[in-house]
Structure 1
Amino acid sequence: MLLTNVLLLLFSASRDVLAAPQQVPLEVPALAKPRKLHGRFLHITDMHPDPAYRPKTSESTSCHRKKGKKKKNAAGYYGLPQSDCDSPLRLTNFTLDFIEKKWASDIDFVIWTGDNARHDNDRKLPRTPSEIYDLNRAVATKMASAFTARGIPVVPSLGNNDVWPHNIMIPGPNSITSEFASIWKAFIPFPHLQIFQRGAYYAVEVIPDAVAVISLNTMYFYDSNKAVGGCEFKDRDDAGNLEFDWLEVQLKGFRDRGMQVWISGHVPPSPGNYFPECYVRYVELALRFQDTILGHLYGHMNADHFFFLEANDLAVIDPPKVANNGDLFDTLLSDFAVIPNAKDINMDNFAVINVSPSVVPNPYLPSFRVFSYNTTGAPIRHLGRKHGHHRGDRKNKEAQCKLDAYRETWKCQLNDSWHSDPLAPSRSNQLWTPLGYAQYYIPHLEEGNKSHTPCFKLEYATYERDTLNGSKGVYPMPPKNLPGKVKKRQTPYELENLTVGAWIELARRMGSSKKLRSIFKRYMYME
């Protein structure tokens, strides 16, 4: 109780800390007319505010106690980059204040993918549920004030450090789903509140009747959560299976309405993060609804990267693994190296996962992304689209699925038709197609102090440099938020858009260019 009171005092003490929330959450104001679209949205993740952070303390104490013996290991005023320390409240406030001032008038919605409490890495100051909820409530109040009050939808997701103990969440309804239903009441559409209280997942139509964002609770797929069953086929009431059943219904409904969808969550879908059967279900839905899903946005990893979900992931007998040393960068390059040549590839077989780096300077530098998307043209309905095809060797699959080892697995049970189309917005530049993103970061966080405010700068952007500079009279990013002259190193990839094919081509280019691989690694780890 004492710690909670201290936190609330910290939140309300000055403008340098997150304001304490009101008892009644803010509601999205009713709008008299449709909002003007700017063709941009914000993705922000992993803020990790820490009310116990103290400048000049030691990294060995999580920047909580003891004076740092060396300057490079002493907590800075705005944070300690390349460390295991979390964000001081002034960094969280500075970031959200900066985004509100510079971006709130230029974006259409916000995707916010979790982890709004500190890590539990100080044994002398363990976290408590009340502290976690207080931190989340304070950040939510700040987000509602900056965006929701302006009519900008905000779509949060639950992070693995937003629960106590971290990584562990039992099937709902439970105290966590109930508490966050209250904390996020301003963001969750009323019709989704009941399902949210069961599992902490929901959907928001960020552009009514056109584009939705689905916020998943990845805790029920995450293999560090030992309180769930891991989506085993025989356990149809497992929390992960129930969530995937719900997701399938949502995707079918949005597809029938001719809408497009972003899928968001905290822990990205990979064999290293998800229970095997949960991973299979995610991949199958991602590929089955490739014509409806614009992209997949995640956080958690803190490193800037992308990777692919592939039809090969659904082979009944796993293909041989590519040898690597376990390093994320090397693993990604190994995967990119075996992507088929252009003449041999079937784009239906791929989906792209984008993982954004974090606000917390643990272990890199504070950052956020602003995406742009196409707002021109007419929506494409799902008439005459390709469907009915199944992946893999059908004959071999039938034989393999008769074996006891595979019969009752999702790989042998998922046989629905896939929906794909070369003209879908995820595959071709159409209305709602993602066009690119600009990533902003604080390069010299350690220089910030009471008299010297840190500065967010453009780290890089995915666009062609001429496009970013408005060569066609259209700026994907507001000129006020770009440097006077964009440097060549700030447009390393020069992608025309963010379609599946564009990402695959970038991955192929890395395979033949040592220089591009080096650039990718530098931005991945903010070196």
Structure 2
Amino acid sequence: MHDAVKFRCSERFSMFSLAVLVPWLPCLVQVFSQPIQQPFSVRPSSPKLHGRFLHITDMHPDPHYIAGASESSACHRKKPRKEKARSGYYGTPFGDCDSPLRLTNLTLDFLDKNWASEIDFVVWTGDNARHDNDRKIPRTPKEIFDLNSMLAREMENIFIKKGIPVVPSLGNNDIWPHNILPAGPNDIIDHFSSIWSAFVPLSSYQVFRRGAYYAVEVISGEVAVISLNTMYFYDSNKAVGGCEYREPDDPGNLEFDWLEVQLKVFRQRGMQVWITGHVPPSPGNYFPECYVRYVELSLRFQDTILGHLFGHMNNDHFFLLEAGDLEFPSKSDLAPASDTVESEGHDGLYDSLINDFGDLPKKGKTDHDNYGVVNISPSVVPNPYLPSFRIYTYNITNNRNDVKKKKRKHGHRRGAGDKVKLCKKKKYKNSWRCKLDKAWHSDPDAPSRMNTLWSPLGYAQYYLPEDRLLNRTKKPKFKLEYLTHRLGALHPGDVERRDEFRYPIPLKQLPKSIREGNGTSTSSKFAPYGMEDLTIPSWVGLARRLGDPSRKKLRRRFKRYMYMGEKS
């Protein structure tokens, strides 16, 4: 590794030594005697909340990256004659190369300087090692763990030491070989129990070693983040059984059993939960039975789950989890709503989403009990688009006592009318669709459905434009790409209470046209969706608008943001 591109943090995490573990032995004995993970919080019980959090994903740092190299060599060697064919100084936009370490450092420096004092917690959804795309320099377990260790130490220094919880998830490129992870405990998970020692609660150690999943209370007694190990659901992982009903000890089934317990506990405590992970839940990504279990739990605990945040896809989009996915015939037999970009082509994913949105019921005929929303954040690595991260805002202005408590709405969703008949057939008898019949918990006044305490309000997406990645002489800065908010919502209405903690996005992080609140055409281009909030009805409303063929301008904007302006 060249000195010029070394990480600031060159220290390596090591496995716990016996000397370190001895003081903790009494605690570990108590932890190992507990069958269920106990929630954990690193945040004081009464902090001054900002109402914002960071979602960052897919950094893919590459210590072998060389500026000026050829893209065909994974940007590792061969200087092409034509300057346009050479790798960029801060990254190669719209290409196949991973991130130079200077891009990773630049991103973390920017977050440290501009956002570390403005957010309450961090969702970090994996892939912190390079792709295995160069046969001349194959990845090794040591390199993967070293890259993850360096990034973890940086995240600890920037956020954890300031009292800001960080919740990482395991990516499909964080393991060796990529995509393949057998049931735990195993050496890979053991390494991450050390690498993530600053993030994973000690009380979660036993459960984490079994499957690399855990829960963190990011706002004590109020909001938790559940980090899933999606490798046990991912259909590219041939080391697991795919959540088949007849295999209760399959690691995917064990993880869903654990998730169900966590959601029950958090619901009983009156808490709200974000579900996060690397590979998003879709028929194109998950084993069919794993997908059914995910959808059913998401809808059954809709009143407890604030939303679903994932990475992996590297582009910007959202899709809906629907009750129809639990019916026969399964939508998993049809074109997936969110498959890999490689298999569907550049426009394939976009077309699938638009078609699905076009099938939504008309306004006024939609039962929002039947939906969940999955948000996919684009990546830091400019492969194949542009470096990006998101800042979410959420409601902290309502007091818990102000939220009306209504009797929860219960109901059974048993699929299509012929489900009883179909479930008698051998083909379906032992499928999860025929076994999941517990009551659903939905509530129109829940934070996922109505703007109230802890409801997600919007997000602002920041990126590095193409020209800034290629410029050697000037250090680039992230700029606002777009936000979901209405422009008017970016300035608090109560003038007497106008302080930085009342603004959804700090004014200094907004373009001048928005900062001055003049509502010009220049400022409006940053707010293409004008969403009131990020509740389920708002997302379904946006999806319905996108599904309308007459909304051509909106579709163009959605596609442009989805692929960050890359030409088809």
Q: Compute the TM-score of the two structures, normalised by the length of structure 1.
A: 0.94
Give the counterpart letter for 1:371 in structure 2: Y
Structure 2 unaligned residues grouped into runs of 5+: 21-39, 338-342, 515-522
Residue in structure 2 matched with residue 19 of structure 1 by the alignment: 10
Rounded to whole Å, the distance in 1 between the matches of 2:366 and 2:444 is 13
Structure 1 unaligned residues grouped into runs of 5+: 1-5
Residue in structure 2 matched with residue 3 of structure 1 by the alignment: none
Return 60-69 or 327-336, whichever deviates more.
60-69
Rounded to whole Å, the distance in 1 between the matches of 2:43 and 2:253 is 37
Rounded to whole Å, the distance in 2 between the matches of 1:235 and 1:323 is 25
Give the counterpart letter for 2:409 in structure 1: K
Give the 3 Å change call, closer, same or farther, for CA 152–316 of structure 1 in structure 2: same
**Root-mean-square deviation (Å):** 2.2
Give the 3 Å change call, closer, same or farther, for CA 449–43 of structure 1 in structure 2: same
Deviations 1:49-80 (A, max 9, x none): 00000010000000001103332321111111
CA shift for structure 1 position 206: 0.2
Residue in structure 2 matched with residue 436 of structure 1 by the alignment: 458
Instruction: Determine helix, strand or coil for the equivalent of 1:359.
Output: coil
Match of 1:406 among 408, 428, 452: 428
Rounded to whole Å, the distance in 1 between the matches of 2:261 and 2:117 is 34
Match of 2:513 among 462, 481, 485: 485
Give the counterpart letter for 2:437 in structure 1: N
Give the 3 Å change call, closer, same or farther, for CA 15–37 of structure 1 in structure 2: farther
Give the 3 Å change call, closer, same or farther, for CA 262–228 of structure 1 in structure 2: same
Residue in structure 1 matched with residue 225 of structure 2 by the alignment: 213
Rounded to whole Å, the distance in 1 between the matches of 2:410 and 2:260 is 16
Rounded to whole Å, the distance in 1 between the matches of 2:255 and 2:557 is 38
Deviations 1:297-334 (A, max 9, x none): 00000010000000000003226846999400000000
Return 220-229 or 469-478, whichever deviates more.
469-478
CA shift for structure 1 position 467: 1.2
Return 357-366 or 445-454, whichever deviates more.
445-454
Instruction: Determine helix, strand or coil for the equivalent of 2:525.
Output: helix
Rounded to whole Å, the distance in 2 between the matches of 1:241 and 1:449 is 49
Rounded to whole Å, the distance in 2 between the matches of 1:23 and 1:382 is 49
Q: Compute the TM-score of the two structures, normalised by the length of structure 2.
A: 0.87
CA shift for structure 1 position 346: 0.5
Deviations 1:457-513 (A, max 9, x none): 000000001112445544100011111113111100000000000001001111230
2:175–2:188 Cα contact (<8 Å) kept: yes
Map residues 118-517 of structure 1 onto 2, 5 A cutoff: 118-318=130-330, 321=334, 326=344, 327-379=348-400, 380=403, 384-393=407-416, 395-470=417-492, 473=498, 474-486=502-514, 487-512=523-548, 513-517=551-555
Return 14-23 or 402-411, whichever deviates more.
14-23
Residue in structure 1 matched with residue 557 of structure 2 by the alignment: 519
Deviations 1:85-134 (A, max 9, x none): 00000100110110011000010000000000000000110000000000
1:463–1:497 Cα contact (<8 Å) kept: yes
Give the counterpart letter for 1:112 in structure 2: W
Residue in structure 1 matched with residue 32 of structure 2 by the alignment: none
1:385–1:420 Cα contact (<8 Å) kept: yes
Instruction: Determine helix, strand or coil for the equivalent of 1:205.
Output: strand
Using the aligned pairs only, state the percent identity: 60
Instruction: Determine helix, strand or coil for the equivalent of 1:240.
Output: helix
2:56–2:125 Cα contact (<8 Å) kept: yes
CA shift for structure 1 position 31: 7.0
2:42–2:217 Cα contact (<8 Å) kept: no
Rounded to whole Å, the distance in 2 between the matches of 1:514 and 1:391 is 37
Residue in structure 1 matched with residue 517 of structure 2 by the alignment: none
Give the counterpart letter for 1:392 in structure 2: G
Give the counterpart letter for 2:217 in structure 1: E
Rounded to whole Å, the distance in 2 between the matches of 1:30 and 1:510 is 40
Instruction: Determine helix, strand or coil for the equivalent of 1:485.
Output: helix
Instruction: Determine helix, strand or coil for the equivalent of 2:512.
Output: coil
Rounded to whole Å, the distance in 2 between the matches of 1:98 and 1:447 is 15
Rounded to whole Å, the distance in 2 between the matches of 1:29 and 1:462 is 29
Give the 3 Å change call, closer, same or farther, for CA 493–143 of structure 1 in structure 2: same
1:68–1:75 Cα contact (<8 Å) kept: no
Give the 3 Å change call, closer, same or farther, for CA 365–169 of structure 1 in structure 2: same
Give the 3 Å change call, closer, same or farther, for CA 36–467 of structure 1 in structure 2: same
Map residues 11-160 of structure 1 onto 2, 5 A cutoff: 17-21=8-12, 23=14, 34-160=46-172
Instruction: Determine helix, strand or coil for the equivalent of 1:521.
Output: helix
CA shift for structure 1 position 35: 2.0
Give the 3 Å change call, closer, same or farther, for CA 507–451 of structure 1 in structure 2: same
1:76–1:446 Cα contact (<8 Å) kept: no
CA shift for structure 1 position 186: 0.2
Give the 3 Å change call, closer, same or farther, for CA 271–99 of structure 1 in structure 2: same
Give the counterpart letter for 1:151 in structure 2: G
Give the counterpart letter for 1:389 in structure 2: H
Give the 3 Å change call, closer, same or farther, for CA 55–414 of structure 1 in structure 2: same
CA shift for structure 1 position 445: 4.7
Rounded to whole Å, the distance in 1 between the matches of 2:412 and 2:44 is 45
Instruction: Determine helix, strand or coil for the equivalent of 2:513.
Output: coil
Give the counterpart letter for 1:375 in structure 2: I
Rounded to whole Å, the distance in 2 between the matches of 1:102 and 1:234 is 51
Instruction: Determine helix, strand or coil for the equivalent of 1:490.
Output: coil
Instruction: Determine helix, strand or coil for the equivalent of 2:547.
Output: helix
Rounded to whole Å, the distance in 1 between the matches of 2:52 and 2:44 is 22
Give the counterpart letter for 2:445 in structure 1: L
1:445–1:454 Cα contact (<8 Å) kept: no
Instruction: Determine helix, strand or coil for the equivalent of 1:371.
Output: strand
Rounded to whole Å, the distance in 1 between the matches of 2:71 and 2:44 is 51
Deviations 1:227-254 (A, max 9, x none): 0000000000001000000000000000
Give the 3 Å change call, closer, same or farther, for CA 302–447 of structure 1 in structure 2: closer
Return 185-194 or 127-136, whichever deviates more.
185-194
Rounded to whole Å, the distance in 2 between the matches of 1:358 and 1:323 is 21
1:115–1:161 Cα contact (<8 Å) kept: yes
1:53–1:87 Cα contact (<8 Å) kept: yes
Rounded to whole Å, the distance in 1 between the matches of 2:528 and 2:105 is 31
Rounded to whole Å, the distance in 1 between the matches of 2:404 and 2:144 is 44
2:92–2:469 Cα contact (<8 Å) kept: no
Give the counterpart letter for 2:415 in structure 1: G
Give the 3 Å change call, closer, same or farther, for CA 22–198 of structure 1 in structure 2: closer
Give the counterpart letter for 1:330 in structure 2: D
Give the 3 Å change call, closer, same or farther, for CA 240–397 of structure 1 in structure 2: same
